[in-house]
Chain A
């Protein structure tokens, strides 16, 4: 096997594994994504430094970063779902709880390891998502909102009803944790990187999908389903596929929570407050821009932590007031700040790859 580098003007051609890869050296194509990635990667370090400067314990801050990653893991699939189905799902936390309960029950009752509960949680989310996906065809507007809004309430009620199984507000204890190095801080940092990895993977996948022909067609469905169908797009099929896979992806957040906290408490996550934070993350991320979700996830998680430590009893009020103001000021979300030029939704960017 031979790897050969061939510098050309403005790009580097790499021959490897019998194929040819083009790397454009033009910095504007990769500089900002690389910087963004590096910042994301080194957040625990940055946060630890900041914490030592202002003399507070970094543990709370790392936990906040992990919470941000959870928001991101739920919000990235949700953004794809909103674009691909043209509907806003008000029950993403229902799928989080599905994944959480699946992982917790399997781990506690059958001693199944996190490695195995991961695919099972994903598949349960997938199957329930598939079973529920017809709602994207038969309902829209307020009806869709109400149906999806009811799902988490029903699940929470079920958790209270069979508290012998689901543990109600005390949760399911005795779930195997993923990491136990003996050092709490190290554990937290590893949890950060596990959740980071999931979020980053989702970002890559969704970015790919949105740039593909399907992402483009989803943009059309999002705007006008009738037009899409009149021009040969199988709208229902795309909606069902998107709804199913994004449901599975959200369930993974629950899996992470269960094996991170060593327990899963459904009623703690099946709350309007968590739903609102997720919806704010997607909205403030900036419509149609998947990267913005990462930024808004961190800003919102940090704001929550800051308000919690400074406003005491009024912390929730303060948090939502600040977010209200941000919603009002940032009409195009955080991403709109970065991308000031007139912004067109769903414009597919094309990378021409020459075949060998």
Chain B
């Protein structure tokens, strides 16, 4: 479904993503981990079209999308969340989901009223229905993370890119976010790339883990095997939460 080949992105002297290649099959849920500054967010930004790569190519559903614009990729079915929740802060929770419904491929065919209804449905999935009229700037981080997911899902994506859904949450909240992600994955037949800094919960939820370090792909495989690899352990030396 997604094929990333020799992707490279530089910021000045830093090579944030360095010659990264991997493939994700339809229906897979892949964890993407690595210490801070490893290039995980940059990789998400490259796949979603936020940045253009310096080298390499991206293929989605057999189509080359390396040069496609961000909104085109969104319409093709690539949705992403933001590491630092990035919602339209003076709009309500509901309105923040509505524009994703309207922006989706079939968004053109439905009226504003229908989009309202659909947005309610996605809010409800994440238990946010009661918060629908609250202006986003008044919501706590846990609800912002849920709203990010609801908005991404409203795009009716085929591929969901999650950039740290659990950062800043307490263990109980993180647990429930993780459960929700697994639930929507089954219900909506999603392919997911899930970036997380914290390993523990991710380990239980994903079937495959990709490790990045200094922009490079360090390891790729079953979670239990990957975390035992010496180079991965070394990359995380000093990082307490492996």
Chain A positions near chain B (C-beta within 8 angstroms): 212-213, 216-217, 219-220, 223-224, 226-235, 344-348, 350, 352
B69 partner residues in chain A, CB cutoff 8 A: 229
**Residue B22 at the chain A interface, CB threshold 8 Å:** no
A347 partner residues in chain B, CB cutoff 8 A: 92, 95
CB < 8 Å neighbour of B91 from A219, A226, A235: A219
Residue pair B91, A346 in contact (C-beta under 8 Å): yes
Residue pair B102, A216 in contact (C-beta under 8 Å): yes
Residue in chain B with minimal CB distance to A215: B112
Q: What are 17 contact pairs spanning A and B, CB under 8 A?
A: A213-B102, A213-B111, A217-B102, A224-B86, A226-B50, A227-B88, A228-B99, A229-B49, A231-B79, A231-B100, A231-B155, A232-B75, A232-B100, A232-B103, A233-B103, A347-B92, A350-B112
Residue pair A230, B80 in contact (C-beta under 8 Å): yes
Q: Nearest 7 A-B pairs (CB), nearest first?
A: A232-B103, A232-B74, A231-B103, A229-B70, A231-B100, A223-B88, A229-B71
Chain B positions near chain A (C-beta within 8 angstroms): 48-50, 69-71, 74-75, 79-80, 86-92, 95, 98-100, 102-105, 107, 111-113, 115-116, 135, 151, 155
B112 partner residues in chain A, CB cutoff 8 A: 212-213, 216, 348, 350
Least Cβ distance of B82 to chain A in Å?
8
Residue pair A233, B71 in contact (C-beta under 8 Å): yes
Least Cβ distance of A287 to chain B in Å?
10
Residue in chain A with minimal CB distance to B113: A350
| Bound form: Cα–Cα A344–B111 in Å | 22
B49 partner residues in chain A, CB cutoff 8 A: 229-230
Residue pair A350, B116 in contact (C-beta under 8 Å): yes
Residue in chain A with minimal CB distance to B92: A344
CB < 8 Å neighbour of B90 from A228, A345, A350: A345
Least Cβ distance of A354 to chain B in Å?
11
Least Cβ distance of B143 to chain A in Å?
17
| Bound form: Cα–Cα A220–B99 in Å | 8
Residue pair A231, B95 in contact (C-beta under 8 Å): no
Residue pair A232, B50 in contact (C-beta under 8 Å): no
Residue pair B74, A352 in contact (C-beta under 8 Å): no
B107 partner residues in chain A, CB cutoff 8 A: 232
CB < 8 Å neighbour of A232 from B71, B89, B95, B115: B71
Least Cβ distance of B49 to chain A in Å?
8
Residue pair B102, A224 in contact (C-beta under 8 Å): no
Residue in chain B with minimal CB distance to A223: B88
| Bound form: Cα–Cα A224–B69 in Å | 16
Residue pair B102, A234 in contact (C-beta under 8 Å): no
